[in-house]
Amino acid sequence: MRKTFCMALLAAALLPACSMLQTTHEHPAVAFPEAWGKADGASLSSAAGERWWSLFADPVLDKLVDEALQHNHDVEAAAARILEAEATLGVTEADRYPVVTANGAGSRRGISKVTATPLFGGVPRNQNNARLSIDASYELDVWGKYRRASDAARSQLLGAEAARDTVRLTLTAEVAQQYFNLLAADAQVAVIRDVLQSRTDSLDLLRLRFKSGVGSEYEIRQAEAEEAAVRSQLASALKTQENLESVLAILLGRSPRDVMQGKVERGSVAAMQALWVPDGLPSDLLLRRPYIREAEQKLLAEDAKIDVARAEYFPTISLTGYLGTESATLAKLFTGPAGIFQFVLGLSQPIFNANRLSFSVKAAEARRAQAVAEYQKAVANAFGDVRNALNAQTSGRDVLKAESERIAALLEAQRLANVRYQGGVASRLEVLDADRQLLQAQLARIDAENAQRAAVVSLFKALGGGWKQVDAETAHPEPAAAH
């Protein structure tokens, strides 16, 4: 009767404690816009596969991205961090199971006959002892401390996988962007070289005319200055081209020798006039962005760590024991009388620790509050990135159109300036000024075209990569279940 009463009393004490640990952590509320914004004149796309860069229809770009994903050092490091998180989860899971060890010991000792405690009669001075045992220990996870620690480790593993996806997404976007920068640099070098050749030919013609008594030295000096200015521009453009090749080679994970001496293959990029915005998909599709998933998993891990800290308030219940044999001689070690065993039930309850446990819980709750703020910031930044990318595409398209019209006007102005110069109506300076403006407009148009491509890349990066129409059904992820 007394035993039953004690068990009931123990159960009554444990049930309130269990309820204290069954906490429910709410998922941070985020106010999403109802749908994606659409710029005037923008086209829409319902699907863009995970290999979104293939929309640029450049096999060389496809090959470079694959090379980077396979050899980039940041991707390799992110993969290693996943392996570390997997191992950490394995260690944490192991804490939920008993620990069993096999132990063996043998000893021989000699006892003094002349100490204050003499040997009893018949007790040998030299004594042998041999012992073999199987030891086991197990802590009952009554309060879910180890289970919640495993949940935290599992969330950290998922966070590491999301971080790896973030690295891969950032890498693909960076490779595409630097590749486009390199193509733009090539185009600018080609334009400047054509202009330089024109300047050189014009200078040679002026010198011939001067030797023939036609023209003036003033015109020659003007032409020499313009030719030198173009050569200076060419040198700067070539430097930019070389630097971009180095940057791209590093992103591809190539060897130092290839970084120093290798060349990056070029291709041809299809014109990107459309805005690749998901058509008909809800705005919370953005929650699949790896960076946001990483922040969410960190939040879930901090939730679990709060419960781990709270579990320290309650008793630790452990089971330990051993089973084996012990004998003074090896011959009797495995006989019946040599058998030994012990089973122990342990109970440890914190009583006074100078509020150490309370501070541990407060620290866990503070880390959770930090994770909430980081999650909300990640979501806000993601929508900001999308908005900026959409605005950049709209602006880029308008700038490109304006620069194209500017070039058309300057080509006509250049033609008229040459006609006026040949007719003696205008000076050589007017021709040079028209040429200079045309060169700057051509370079600006290349920059505008590259900026438009960059905006497309930025949008894919902001959206977390490509998407599929089927994502419309799964774009409203339910918050992870709280424990």
Domains contained in the chain, CATH given? 32-107+131-474 (1.20.1600.10)
State residue 388's pLDDT score. 87
* pLDDT at residue 30 greater than cutoff 90: no
Looking only at the bridges linking them, the beta strands covering 277-278 and 339-348 are unpaired
pLDDT > 90: percent of the chain: 43
pLDDT at 475 over 70: no
Tell me which range, 218-222, 308-312, 335-339, 394-398, is most confidently predicted by mean pLDDT.
Answer: 308-312
Q: Is the pLDDT of residue 9 over 60?
A: no
* Rounded average pLDDT over 230-244: 92
Mean pLDDT, the chain, whole residue set: 82
Dist. CA 97–CA 303, nearest whole Å = 23
Does position 421 have pLDDT exceeding 70, yes or no?
yes
On whether the CB atoms of residues 72 and 171 are closer than 8 A, the answer is yes
Token reading at 73: 């050092």
Residue 398 pLDDT class (50, 70, 90 cuts): confident
Percent of the chain with pLDDT over 70: 83
Tokens representing 278 are 């998901």
Residue 370 pLDDT exceeds 90: yes
Nearest to 143 by CA among 277, 265, 274, 318: 318
pLDDT given for residue 134 in this prediction: 95
pLDDT value of residue 31: 66
* pLDDT above 50 (res 15): no
pLDDT tens digit sequence for 282-295: 666 677 788 888 99
pLDDT over 60 at 6, yes or no:
no
Residue 35: pLDDT band by 50, 70, 90 thresholds?
low
The residue assigned the tokens 């009931």 is 8
Q: pLDDT at position 206, please?
A: 80
Report residue 101: phi and psi, to 5°: -130, 150
190-199, 213-222, 343-352, 448-457: least confidently modelled range: 213-222
Tell me the β-bridge partners of 130: 106, 327
- Using CB atoms within 10 A of its CB, is residue 473 exposed (0-12), middle (13-18) or buried (19+)? exposed
Which range is least confidently modeled, 111-120, 232-241, 305-314? 111-120
Neighbours of 226 (CB within 10 A): 23
Where is average pLDDT lowest: 159-168, 207-216, 429-438?
Answer: 207-216
Supply 52's token pair: 């979104």
Q: Name which of 65-74, 227-236, 283-292, 469-478 the model is least confident about.
A: 469-478
- Amino acid 470: pLDDT: 45
Greatest C-alpha distance within the chain? 138
State the pLDDT confidence band at 425, using cuts at 50, 70 and 90: confident
Rounded distance between C-alpha atoms, residue 209 and residue 198, angstroms = 17
* Between 109 and 135, residue with greater pLDDT: 135
Find the mean pLDDT for residues 109-128: 78
Element (H, E) at 129: strand 126-139
Phi, psi dihedral angles at 26 (to 5 degrees): -80, 140
Give pLDDT tens digits for 138-178: 999 999 999 999 999 999 999 999 999 999 999 999 999 99
Region 233-240 average pLDDT: 92
What sign does the dihedral 67-69-73-79 (CA atoms) show? negative
Q: Is the dihedral of CA 327, 328, 333, 337 positive or negative?
A: negative
Phi/psi-derived region of residue 279, left when phi > 0, alpha when psi is between -120 and 50, beta in every other case:
beta
Which of 280, 303, 289, 450 has its CA nearest to residue 364? 303
CA-based nearest residue to 189, from 254, 140, 237: 237
Give pLDDT, residue 27. 67
Q: Which of 75-84, 176-185, 197-206 shows the lowest per-residue confidence on average (mean pLDDT)? A: 197-206
Token readout for 166 is 């973030």
Looking up tokens 């003499």, which residue turns up? 118
- CA separation, residue 479 to residues 155, 375, 438, 445 (Å): 13, 13, 57, 47
